[in-house]
Structure 1
Amino acid sequence: MASQQQSGPLSDADIYALQEWIAETAVGFCLYGIYATFSFIAIYFLLTRHGGDATKKARLVLLTVIIFMFINSTSLVILDLEYILVQIPLGSFNPPDIQKTTKILGNIKISGNFLERLNFLINDGIVVWRAWILFPRNWHIKLLLGFCLLACGVCNVFDAASGAVNVLKNYQAVGAGTKEFLVLTLPLLVTNIVATFLIGYCHALTTTNQSQHHPTCFLTPPQDIRPPQDRTTGTTHLPKTGPRVIRTSPRLS
């Protein structure tokens, strides 16, 4: 009769790892469910709303971006779950090949880093686009927004590449150092601040009835089409029209 291996109690490190994985998976899927709900609501309204050709093109672009970001976020959740499932067999009596498993874990982490930074870049692109369309005749603002978005793209690619190099050296590498972290976060933060400030500035011009005289802001308040009033008497002066001509049909004899 073949002897069976006896399994002892888990170590404190194993229990801590399981607790961390369970909590991370639960929180991640909870947030993913909320994100998926709002994504489907946005897709529904974009598909059911009708408008002109101009709004149709904008809705089509926005619908494509939302679907792409939803697929990207779904891939991130799957990669995070796969990263946990691949590590579990390493604690068994007959663990898989360490080198092969390490390579798989490194590839998963590199793919997740690139997809995560792609989501960051798309989010900033949406904010920049909202500010871009409000200033169609101001090339200085367009150059500023374009430079900010280009800086975000370059810094995201640099951070993902440096993170990939670190992971290839050690798959357990959490991330980059302080300098690399600032390279990723500072351009994203500055771009969001600049775009949000421009959107608020244009909205302030609209609320103070100054955008109709502003040569760069797209938003214009509705014009007052009411007839003028006499300030002294308070009477309303209607526009003069010609005499009304009443046409009657000839009588039949």
Structure 2
Amino acid sequence: MSAVSPAAAQAGYSAINVTTYETEFSSLLYGIYATLAFAAMWIVVRRGVTNGRALMLSILAIMFSASTVSFVLGCITNVWQAQMIFFPEVATPQFIHRFYLVDTAGLVFVRLNYILSDLIVVWRAWVIWGRSPRVLALVSFFMLGTIGEYSNMEFIASEATDAGLTLSQLFNDNTSSNNLGPIKGGERAMILVLPTLATNLVSMFLITLKAWYHRKVIKTDFGEGNVSSRAMVVLTWVVESAVIYCVLWILYIFAFFELFTDVGLNIFDGCMVQFSGIYPTAIIVLVALNRSECDRYSSVIDESLKFASVPIDSGMTHPDTTTAESAHGL
């Protein structure tokens, strides 16, 4: 058995400490996501499977499956990393190659989850705007940028290689705790995250604009009555959740510029895939819980939108109804 230098041993313990925190937070978020995912899929099935709902159900199932696979593969690579740290003799070329393959596979499923999450967000914004062709063209432009970046397999492979190279550093005397974990340069983080952040910011702006417009119409016809507060509930939830999700992505970018410690960065790195699944799935559940209340006022609000003095695009539908439809994949 080959000996490990004191510096490498200390770095190894630090690495295990970092991955332990990452696994704990990822496990907590995965449990929350699993609960929401099964609830959302049950809601979609319970409402009857149409073509749109079948597509939404498929996306939800694929997202949860991708998240599950990435979570399991992440746990496997953490165990293998610990083996190579404390038992250097297992770090054969074949073992390291297998580590690279598993790590790369995990990254592929993570990227798939990001793309599907953005797809649901874009779909929701498009439906809320009455399936407007101009809105579809705008959000599709940003969505294609996200797909193009995340489907860059050479970039994904380089990420896995960089993560693997940090393992070999653990067996050098010059290893320090600052070299640990999947820490990449800020420039790489910007390239990776900006497309999905831009997609979500544009979608959030469109939904916020629709919420503002809807509130303006309701205030014009009904003043500050109870109907307005009821009608705005769903759109308010969608906007607020979008703001929180975008803030998480911004913090994730800043984390690569040493905003947090190594532990914080690794936790963010391991948890963002769960956040990307929780965000659109939670909206589906929240909309379903509130839909019965909103439907009580749908006929009144439809009339207000139809006869409002402010010009309305004939292709648009009632915001509360379309918000619920977008969440359920109608």
After TM superposition, the score normalised by the length of structure 2 is 0.56
- Paired with 2:162 and 2:131, the residues of 1 have a C-alpha distance of 49
- Paired with 1:176 and 1:196, the residues of 2 have a C-alpha distance of 28
User: Per-residue CA shift, 1:211-250, capped at 9, x if unaligned?
Assistant: 543226623489xxxxxxxxxxxxxxxxxxxxxxxxxxxx
Partner of 1:190: 198
Partner of 2:154: 161
Do the aligned partners of 2:130 and 2:317 also contact (CA within 8 Å) in 1? no
Do the aligned partners of 1:202 and 1:217 also contact (CA within 8 Å) in 2? no
- 1:218 to 2:226 alignment: no
CA change 1:36–1:81 in 2 (3 A) is same
- Paired with 1:29 and 1:114, the residues of 2 have a C-alpha distance of 19
- Paired with 2:160 and 2:61, the residues of 1 have a C-alpha distance of 30
Runs of 5+ consecutive residues of structure 1 not aligned to the other structure: 1-8, 223-253
Runs of 5+ consecutive residues of structure 2 not aligned to the other structure: 1-5, 167-181, 219-304, 321-330
Residue of 15, 18, 21 corresponding to 1:17: 15
**By how many angstroms is 1:180 displaced?**
2.6
What is the one-letter code of the residue matched to 1:172? Answer: L
Residue of 57, 60, 68 corresponding to 1:74: 68
If asked which structure has higher relative contact order (CA below 8 Å, sep 6+), I would say 2
- 1:178 to 2:176 alignment: no
Do the aligned partners of 1:121 and 1:156 also contact (CA within 8 Å) in 2? yes
- Deviant stretches of 4+, over 4 Å: 91-94
Partner of 1:233: none
- Paired with 1:221 and 1:26, the residues of 2 have a C-alpha distance of 39
**By how many angstroms is 1:47 displaced?**
2.0
What is the one-letter code of the residue matched to 1:203? Answer: A
Residue of 24, 33, 38 corresponding to 1:26: 24
CA change 1:15–1:184 in 2 (3 A) is closer
CA change 1:205–1:91 in 2 (3 A) is closer
**By how many angstroms is 1:194 displaced?**
1.0
**By how many angstroms is 1:45 displaced?**
1.7
Do the aligned partners of 2:37 and 2:64 also contact (CA within 8 Å) in 1? yes
> After the TM superposition, which of the residue ranges 93-102 and 120-129 deviates more from structure 2?
93-102
- Paired with 1:41 and 1:221, the residues of 2 have a C-alpha distance of 24
CA change 1:161–1:93 in 2 (3 A) is closer
Mapping of 1:107-186 within 5 angstroms? 107-136=101-130, 138-158=132-152, 160-165=153-158, 167-168=160-161, 171-172=164-165, 174=182, 176-186=184-194
Mapping of 1:232-243 within 5 angstroms? none
**By how many angstroms is 1:124 displaced?**
0.9
Higher CA-based Rg: 1
Partner of 1:100: 94
Residue of 203, 206, 212 corresponding to 2:211: 203
- Paired with 1:138 and 1:40, the residues of 2 have a C-alpha distance of 31
- Paired with 1:40 and 1:93, the residues of 2 have a C-alpha distance of 40
**By how many angstroms is 1:59 displaced?**
2.1
What is the one-letter code of the residue matched to 1:95? Answer: E
Identity %: 25
What is the one-letter code of the residue matched to 1:183? Answer: I
